[in-house]
Amino acid sequence: MDAAAQVDALLLLVSGALVLIIVPGFALLYGGMISTAGAASAMRATLVGAGIAGVLFVIGGYGMAFGPPLIPHVVGVPGTVPSDASTLARACYAGAVCVLAVAILASAVAPRVTLRGWAVFAIVWVVLVYLPAAYAVFNLMDGWASATFGVIDFGGAIPVSIAAAAGAAGILLVCGRQPEHEVRGRRNVPVMAVGGALVWFGWFGLAIGSEGSVDGFTALIWVNTLTASAAATIAWVTVDRIMMRRPTVASAVCGAVAGLIAIAPASGIITTGWSLLVGALSGIACAVIIDVAARAQFGTPTVVVVIHLVGSLVGLLFIGLFANGTGMVYSGNFDQLGVQALAAVVVAAWSFLVSWGAAYAIQRTIGLTATVHVSWREDVPAAGRHQSERGRPER
């Protein structure tokens, strides 16, 4: 392996390690929005899901996502990770991304599901949803999205964020709305802040690793990632102020995450000026739509679904409009916009249907919905919180 290949391999390994930092970050961020106990529950489900995803990817998932076609344009032949150094480094990064996708889904639904039900669901979801979606986007030689339709998705927004958000929506539909008697936990702001910081730091690994090499685009991807997340933070806090709400730590952190998600598919294909706009649009769209989604009364998980689904759609559709060379502004046609929207809708619909079907089957067999909600009352004094952390069974 020459020096350039060694540098690229090192970049992929470091990027993969940074991606894994995002995994506990999402658990702390989304779990902390509920309570300290919610963060613990999210961390447990996230780590279990990460372990399942890692094992599946190593024993056969790599081939399903990057190997020769088993079903042309749909999925590859199951196979283990390669042994040569350069390809193995790419496999390490790809495995970390697979773990991240499951972690997003786990952190969204952890408060609503049992651990055994979640473990079974994670196996089904990785095999039937994530790996085919990864093949469609990441397999540039045969995937139906990238090779056939020319979809541009640098950071894997379609197989990671959109698939995970749609899968979470399918699970929540089976679990149902949160019971009215469920006690709302007190947000743990320090835990949320630490989780958000880990996500922000680790996301640079996801963005740069998607390029796969040190070249003229690496620095642009880094700058675009920072710019979009900063713009989205300001946009979300501004929306809160305009709508007469008090901006909070949650506002700022969720805004930054919305910007990171939106710029992920577009970081290497737009200029820095456009990254400011995509970040701002993502922050505004997510902040507004979350208010609408809250009326469905599915609780905190709707925040996760909206941020990942809406943020990813903003970034993917923005590519169709402003991508250098292929976007509508530069090409004069809507071809790229159409294929971006088509790929996002197809993967979201497939993930939702499979997730709903799997969750329904698990609910009818071993059980999926958690019957004890781990939280505490807002009015419980600090000294007595341990007594209410056990939760109450549903009646």
pLDDT category at 178 given cuts 50, 70, 90 is low
**279-321 residue pLDDT tens:** 999 999 999 998 777 776 667 778 889 999 999 999 999 999 9
Which pLDDT score is estimated for 103? 95
What's the CA dihedral at 326, 331, 334, 335 to 10 degrees? -50
The yes-or-no verdict on residue 5 having pLDDT over 90 is no
Q: What is the mean pLDDT of the chain?
A: 87
The closest of 296, 307, 294 to 232, measured between CA atoms, is 307
The yes-or-no verdict on residue 179 having pLDDT over 70 is no
pLDDT category at 350 given cuts 50, 70, 90 is very high
CA atoms of 176 and 369, how far apart (whole Å): 9
- In Å, what is the CA distance from 69 to each residue of 141, 143, 153? 10, 9, 20
Which pLDDT score is estimated for 221? 94
The yes-or-no verdict on residue 180 having pLDDT over 80 is no
Q: What percent of the chain has pLDDT over 70?
A: 90
Q: What is the mean pLDDT of residues 141-151?
A: 93
Residues 135/65, Cβ–Cβ less than 8 Å: yes
The yes-or-no verdict on residue 356 having pLDDT over 70 is yes
**324-343 residue pLDDT tens:** 777 888 877 889 999 999 99
CA atoms of 377 and 385, how far apart (whole Å): 8
pLDDT category at 391 given cuts 50, 70, 90 is very low
What percent of the residues of the chain are helix, what percent strand, and what percent coil, each to the nearest 5? 75, 5, 25
Least confident piece of the model among 185-189, 312-316, 359-363, 380-384? 380-384
The yes-or-no verdict on residue 357 having pLDDT over 80 is yes
The yes-or-no verdict on residue 382 having pLDDT over 80 is no
CA atoms of 31 and 339, how far apart (whole Å): 35
> In the structure encoding, which two tokens stand for residue 57, read together?
């990817």
pLDDT category at 48 given cuts 50, 70, 90 is very high
Q: What is the mean pLDDT of residues 29-56?
A: 90
